[in-house]
Amino acid sequence: MKKLLFVITAVTFLYSCANDKKQEKEIVDAKSEIKIDSTLITDTSWGVIRTNNNFENLQQLFGDANVVDERICGPECVDSIDVTKIYKGTSKEITIYWDTEDYHKLINLIESVQENAPYHTAAGIKIGSTLKDLLIENGQPINFLGFGWDYGGAITNLNHGKLDDTYIKFRVDLKGESADNDLMGDIELNTAMPAVKKNIDNIVVSRLFLYFKD
């Protein structure tokens, strides 16, 4: 009788352990099935790309054919820069800028410039969003450089607004054939200026950047 009781107890224990392991596996499987938004930009990620991804990681994530190195012009084409492009020539194209001392090992910056790019912030800011959208999200005036030259549309001051507290940065440009001489050239503009207010829906986000933390 004691022997039978021992066998029943042992079987019950083994079944309980197996059931616990099954539940643990189900939890792990459920976690692994959580989908990552490949178009969402956060302070620490660009879709599936994280701060610690190197060149080989990118090849694994996107496939060798979709990850290519390229030499491009730096500002005003004074220097050239070696970068990596993902999905080159498509609306999903992004450019990876590497740390100069850790090329292919440490990402400094990711950039998107394609007109129909799907990438967006949690607030829905993307390429094509208007300066008005940025202003609403920032909650404070925005200063930026005039258009029509290499640094045109670069944002120079967010005036301690909400967008000051993120590693996601933006650059703006005039949409279509819109032109206003008051907005052109090497000058600093501000969203409070009459000429900017007049064109605020014609000034749109033209570049998205993510600066990875040091």
Distance CA 8, CA 167 (A): 60
| Residue position matching structure tokens 């998205």 | 208
pLDDT number for residue 4? 39
pLDDT number for residue 31? 43
Instruction: Considering only CA atoms, give the Rg of the chain.
Output: 25
Burial pattern 159-190, b for ≥16 Cβ within 10 A else e, equals: eebebeebebbbbbbbeeeeeeeebeeeeebe
Percentage of residues in the chain having pLDDT higher than 70: 80
Q: Which residues contact 189 (CB under 8 A, 6 or more apart)?
A: 143, 144, 145, 146, 183, 195, 196
Pairwise pLDDT comparison (115 vs 77), residue with the higher score: 115
pLDDT tier for residue 175 given thresholds of 50, 70 and 90: confident
Instruction: Read off φ and ψ for residue 84, nearest 5 degrees.
Output: -120, 135
pLDDT tier for residue 51 given thresholds of 50, 70 and 90: confident
Q: Where are the beta strands (DSSP E) in 87-183?
A: 94-98, 107-112, 143-145, 155-157, 168-174
Give the distance from CA 62 to its chain's centroid: 16
Does residue 6 surpass a pLDDT of 60? no
For residues 185 and 198, is the Cβ–Cβ distance under 8 A?
no
- Residue type, position 18, single letter: A
Average pLDDT, the chain: 85
Q: What is the DSSP letter of 14?
A: H
Highest mean pLDDT among 4-8, 97-101, 107-111 belongs to 107-111
Mean pLDDT of 137-166: 96
Percentage of residues in the chain having pLDDT higher than 90: 71
For the segment 80-104, what is each residue's pLDDT rounded down to a tens digit? 899 999 999 999 999 999 998 899 9
